[in-house]
Each structure stands twice: as C-alpha cells, then as structure tokens.
Chains A and B, each alone.
Chain A
Amino acid sequence: MLTNISNVLRACAQRNGAAAVVSARTYADFTNEATFEIKKCDTFKLDEGPATQVVLTRDEGLQYYRTMQTMRRMELKADQLYKQKIIRGFCHLYDGQEACAVGIEAAINLSDHLITAYRAHGYTYTRGGTVKEIMAELTGRRGGIAKGKGGSMHMYCKHFYGGNGIVGAQVPLGAGVALACKYQGNNELCVCLYGDGAANQGQIFETYNMAALWKLPVIFICENNRYGMGTSVERAAASTDYFKRGEFIPGLRVDGMDVLCVREASKFAADHCRSGKGPILMELQTYRYHGHSMSDPGVSYRTREEIQEVRSKSDPISMLKDRMLSNNMASVEELKEIDVEVRKEIEDAAQFATTDPEPPLEDLCNHIFHNNPPLEVRGTNPWSKLKSVS
C-alpha cells in the first residue's frame, strides 16, 4: 500500500513538471515509516535472535543519516588536517564504521554507559560530544573536550569512559562500570567495545569469566573490521567466530554496515542485560576505509579493490540513503540539504580547532590529582617548580 501511495505521488509530480515538483512537495508527502527486512543474525547459545522485520520512522532515518554523515565528514576533515600537520600524534579514523556507533546509541539511553578503545571519535560524538570539542581536542587546543590534554585517544564525556590507548584494557574497565550499575541498582548497563585484534587479549577472557559469574549488565561488542592494524583476522585468531569466543556467554554476529541491524541487535542485547540475565556478546562485522591510523596507508595488507568493493556495495550511509529514497521517506534535495548543513558544521568546527589557542603553560601540571589541594611539581630541572591544581 505504501508503494502505491508513493507511486501516485510520483505520478502527480511528473505531471506538474520538474520545477513545480520542488515547490509543491511538502514533508507531509513523505512516508512516515516503513518496514524493512534485515539480515538475520547468527546466534550462539541463544534460542532466539533479534527481529528481522524492523520499522524505521522518517525522523529516525533522518537523524541516523545526519549523525552518520557528520561522523563521516568529521573523520575526513581530520584526515585533511592531519596531512596539513595541524593534527599530530595518533589519529585512528572511523569512516566506514559509522553504522556501529549510530546503531548502538539508537538502542540505548544516554544514561547508559559506553567505553571503547582508541578509534573513538565517532563514539565521543554519539555520546554527546560536539564536533567542535572533538576537533579542538584533535588539534590539542584549550577548547577541546579534554582541554587539549587527552588528544585523539583520550576523549571523555558523561557516561563515556574514553578513548583508551592500551589494547584490551578497556574491557575489564567496562565490566567494572557494569558492576557499579548493578551495585547501585540503577538499571543501567555498559556497552564495552573492542576490536578483532583486541579480541585475543587475555584480560578479555578474564573479564568474560567474571562478568558471567557475577551476571554483570555488560554488552561486549567486538567491532570486527577484519584487520588488527595490518594483521587480518585469519592470521591472528585460531577462531574468527568472535561472537562465540565468550564460550559461556550468549553471542550474536551482526551485519555492522547496516544501521538497522546494529540497532535491532543492540536492542535485543540491552533487553537481555536489563532482564538480569548477565552479559551478552555481539560481533559487528564492519570495515574501515582508512588504514589503522594516519601513518598507515592501509594498502600493504589489503587490496584497493577490496576497499572499493565495500565502499560501493556496503557503505552504511549509502545503504540508509537508498532505503529512505526508495521508500519515499526523504527526497534527494532534503538529504543534500543535510549534507550542506553538515559540511558547514564541520568547516566551522575545523576553523575553531585551527584557531583556538593551545592550553596555557600553567595547565601543564594541572589535573594530576582530583579534588586535591594545590601542590608543587618539579619541572625539568631541580630549580623549576611548577604548580598543580586539581
């Protein structure tokens, strides 16, 4: 029936001519929601999996589109600034993986908790950071989300625990956050992310054991982008079924390029946790277009053809765009308008990030301790005394 309506509308539009189409079209002409068939998840130790028929509303679709596009543009801008040497140090870009961050956030609340590794710019955004703050942190300025002291890998905001540099260390931390949720009885959960490379870290298995033993409300999520730095999953893991590696923890393998798949699976996982059943593990099959970091061209261990194929067949933003357009949930112009707005937001943020001053020298020794009286800190030589305030 929805298809019929959209066909009729299109037919009307064509009769009036192209110019009239633009002015005559109001947002009331769009379909408010549509049902989509999504890929079934592989399950492990689960009797049932997430739904395969999902409803997407127009508002949701536009919001996901805008968020993913913002993340994409932000990462590409960071690439540009890095090549101009305005961003230095480490910079691990998330483009290609947008559906993961957006899908997860769509299934949880801001009052829930999330922790990830170093490929964290996208999550900083979905958890509440602004593009301005994120970019200024990348350029190390005082307007940055961590006042310029954390950089790419150490961004924090409410209920978002970074941004963690040591591979795998964030997983026990995430379980600890979940322990605090259970301890405080607040019905919140913790989403704890790691990559396919980190999945072989011993401390993750220690964490699986304790999380399952104590039934902690934690969703372990393995973002499998097929490469841990330059090592493909086949060369790193004896078992590449990352969703089964939790052994006694139920698991799901999800198409991480489809924002609706990720959302449904995350909703399923969140319900599982909140019902007191303990932890659950999700493997999101995704892909990064950039190399491991800005110092990696990303083509010595994989082919350009592979990257191109994923970009053309599975790009998360294109997939959502096609879905919305073919179901008359938005117009090309409307989406273009969003693109323009996003581009402007990124440009403004980049401008800010480039011109904002660096943190003052006095800030160098601050924040060593929290809630502490000021103390004297030795500088680079015995006569150099610096002050540290909390």
Chain B
Amino acid sequence: MAASLRCFLRSGKKAVSALGQREFHKSAPVAAQVTVRDALNQAMDEELERDERVFLMGEEVAQYDGAYKVSRGLWKKYGDKRIIDTPISEMGFAGIAVGAAMAGLRPICEFMTFNFSMQAIDQVINSAAKTCYMSAGLQAVPIVFRGPNGASAGVAAQHSQCFAAWYAHCPGLKVVSPWNSEDAKGLLKSAIRDDNPVVFLENELLYGVPFEMSEEAQSKDFTIPIGKAKVERAGTHVTLVSHSRYVGYCLDAAAVLTKEGIECEVINLRTIRPMDVESIEASLMKTNHLVTVEGGWPQFGVGAEICARIMEGNDRLTASGRRLSSRRGC
C-alpha cells in the first residue's frame, strides 16, 4: 500500500486540476474555480474591510504585492497604514506585531516562509502564546502569523522545513493548516477573527492550484471553525489522516485503491492544534486501520502525535497506526 501511495505522489497535481469545470449561468452565482492564492487574498481583503484594526505586515507584502503575490492589490486598496512593508528583521517585526496586538490592534504578521519564523520564534511562543495564561486572561494577543510552510520545489533544506509539529507542541497557540481554497479562505477568516495567536501554515505549491469554491464559500461571512477536521472522502477499510498539500495525495491514492476494492476514508485535519481527535477516533471505529500522511519529518511529528493519541485513547479502538512522511534524517 505504501508503494501505491508513493506512486501517486507524482500525479497529485494532474488529478486535482481534472476536478470540476467552469459552467456559465445567467442567473444565480455558482461554484467557481478559485486558486488558494486568490482565496487567501479574498479572506484578507474582506477582513481588512470588515475591521479597521486588522492590518498586514511583513517583507514585501505591500509594494511587491507579496513575495508569492498572496497580498496582491491590497496595498493599492488600503495604503501604507494598513499594509506595511518591513525591513528584513523577523525577530523585530514579529515582536512589533505582537506588541500591536497587545495594545488592541489585530495584526496579520507574514513570514516570507516559516523557515524565517525561527528567527522570531521566541516572540511567537514566549510573547504571544504564553501571555494570556501568565496574565490570567488580562492580556490577550489577537494575532495571526501566516506564510508558506514545508516543502516547496527544489529550494533546499534551509527553505523546506515543516513547522507544524514545532508550533503545535505549544499550549496557547492555535495551529491551522489548510488544504484547498475553501479551507484557506474560511480558516484564515476565522484565524483573523480569533482573539488568540494563530499560526497559519500555508503551502507555496498550493498557491497556484485552483479548487472549486461553493457559492456559500464565496460569501463575505464564510468562516470555517478552527479545531474541526473534515472528512473529505468517506470510506470503510482504512483511514488516511493528513493536512495541507498531502490531503490531495491521499485523495489520489484513494482513487487508485478504490479500483482494487479498498475504500479509503480521507480526513483533512484542517487544524493541527487543537487537534480533532474525535473525528479520527470515529473514523477508526469503522475502519480500524490508520495511516497518517504528512510533509514534515517523522520523528516527534504530527503523525507521531496522532498515533500516540490513538494508542492511548478509547479502549474500544484496536487500530494501530503507520506514518508516512518525508525522509527522516537519521
């Protein structure tokens, strides 16, 4: 089975773009094909318009239109006050963003990639995540840290690390990892409206991928709750749990396996912390077989946590899990 899944890693993109075709109707608005980039852009645009305390800061977010063009058009629309280009000073500007959040604003702090967030990780954990607890609820930090996370295409080791496990380790943080455009838009809007620090892990390779977005998802009030996973495909034989880009791989693998008579249930975590273990347990009660699929390193990773929780959890579960991930170093 592992071999089957690996074969279809390559065909991921082709399968996705084959889904859905544009239809033109004269009357009611319909589902549309929207790229993840545009979905994120829409989410930020709508939240900037809705609440004047919201602002975006990061490297190249304004005049460059975003290093990956995610914030395209926002500076032209909202100006210098709300879309702020920063110097290359992650620790400094992350701290400034956290301070602004403490004083009542609602910043979106962009890291060009989460690899650079390591420079600022003290501000994310010690200044943002822990403050509400240490102040016994007196001091809130309503901030979103967002940016591309994990593997890209040929950018080498320093630019390819997945930080889901690192951030999800820490209480006081919410960690979100969307897959498709609906996830991206709905979860980013929820993250911005959340009064707590949210680490929002995007994926650079997904930015240009179009997904179908329902009419409901295109509305200005569409949000997806943080902390709830989604069953993307129902199945009975094996549960595949994944997040971000690898949800697509799972669906592709499921499409292949169904021809062999194996029905996979694919769960899109959507949120890493707090993790929706109930959805995984409910699925395992049916299938009794678990495979976790992630882009990060296996040791101490997201899959490791899922397996540990399943092993410890509900006594009626007899499932044991296997993890699929990127290569472990040693």
- A interface residues, Cβ below 8 angstroms from B: 113, 115, 146-150, 154, 156-157, 161-162, 164-166, 169, 171-181, 183-184, 190, 202-203, 206-207, 209-210, 213-214, 363, 366-372, 375, 377, 382, 390
**Known contacts A146-B135, A149-B134, A206-B92; A181 and B103 CB within 8 A of each other:** yes
- Give the 6 A-B CB pairs with smallest separation, nearest first: A176-B99, A172-B95, A206-B92, A180-B103, A173-B99, A147-B136
Contacts of A161 in B (CB 8 A): 99, 102-103, 139
Q: How far in angstroms is the closest Cβ of chain A from B281?
A: 13
A166 touches B127 (CB 8 A): yes
- Is B23 part of the contact surface with A, judged by Cβ < 8 Å? no
Instruction: List B93-135 residues whose CB lies under 8 Å from chain A.
Output: 93-105, 122-123, 126-127, 131-135
A176 touches B87 (CB 8 A): no
B89 lies within 8 A of A176 (CB): no
Complex: how many Å from CA A190 to CA B99? 11
Residue from B96, B99, B172 in contact with A368 in the complex, judged by beta carbons closer than 8 Å: B172
User: How far does the alpha carbon of A190 sit from the alpha carbon of B100 in the complex, in Å?
Assistant: 11
What residues of B have a CB within 8 angstroms of the CB of A173 in the complex? 95-96, 98-99, 102, 123, 127
Complex Cα distance A146/B86, Å?
34
Q: List 22 A-B contacts (CB under 8 A).
A: A147-B136, A149-B134, A149-B135, A149-B136, A162-B131, A162-B134, A166-B127, A172-B92, A172-B93, A172-B95, A173-B123, A175-B92, A175-B95, A176-B96, A202-B91, A203-B95, A206-B91, A207-B95, A369-B196, A371-B195, A375-B274, A382-B313
Partner of B139, one of A156, A213, A214, A390: A156
Cβ of B208 within 8 Å of any chain A Cβ, yes or no, is no
CB of A210 within 8 A of CB of B172, answer no
Select which of A164, A183, A203 is within 8 A of B105 by beta carbon. A183
Q: How far is the CA of A165 from the CA of B123 in the complex (A)?
A: 12
Set of chain B residues within 8 Å of A115, measured between Cβ atoms: 99
Whether, in the assembled complex, B171 has its beta carbon less than 8 Å from a beta carbon of chain A, the answer is: yes
CA gap between A184 and B104 in the complex, in Å: 9
Contact among B100, B122, B174, B196 for A180, CB-based, below 8 A = B100
**Does B92 lie within 8 Å of A203, measured CB to CB?**
yes
Q: Kindly identify which residue among B87, B98, B274 contacts A209, using a CB–CB cutoff of 8 Å.
A: B87
Q: In chain A, what residue has the closest Cβ to B57?
A: A179
Across-interface contacts of B102 in A (CB, < 8 A): 161, 173, 176-177
Decide: A180 near B104, CB < 8 A? Known: A169-B127, A210-B86.
Answer: yes
Given the complex of chains A and B, what is the CA–CA distance between A179 and B126 in angstroms?
20
With an 8 A cutoff between CB atoms, is B81 at the interface? yes
A150-B135, A172-B96, A176-B103 given; A370·B123 CB < 8 A: no
Does B163 count as interface, using CB distance less than 8 angstroms?
Answer: no
Q: Do the beta carbons of A169 and B95 come within 8 Å of each other?
A: yes
Q: Which residues of A contact B172 (CB under 8 A)?
A: 368-369
- Which A residues touch B138, using CB under 8 A? 146, 156-157
Interchain CB contact under 8 A, A156 and B135: yes
Q: A177-B102, A179-B100 are in contact. List 11 more A-B contacts (CB 8 A).
A: A169-B127, A172-B94, A173-B96, A176-B96, A177-B100, A206-B92, A210-B89, A367-B137, A368-B133, A370-B140, A375-B274
CA distance A165 to B127 in the complex (A): 9
B179 contacts chain A at the CB level, 8 A cutoff: no
> In the assembled complex, how far is the CB of residue B148 from the closest CB belonging to chain A, in whole angstroms?
22
The answer on a CB contact under 8 Å between A369 and B132 is yes
Chain A residue at minimum C-beta to C-beta distance from B88: A206
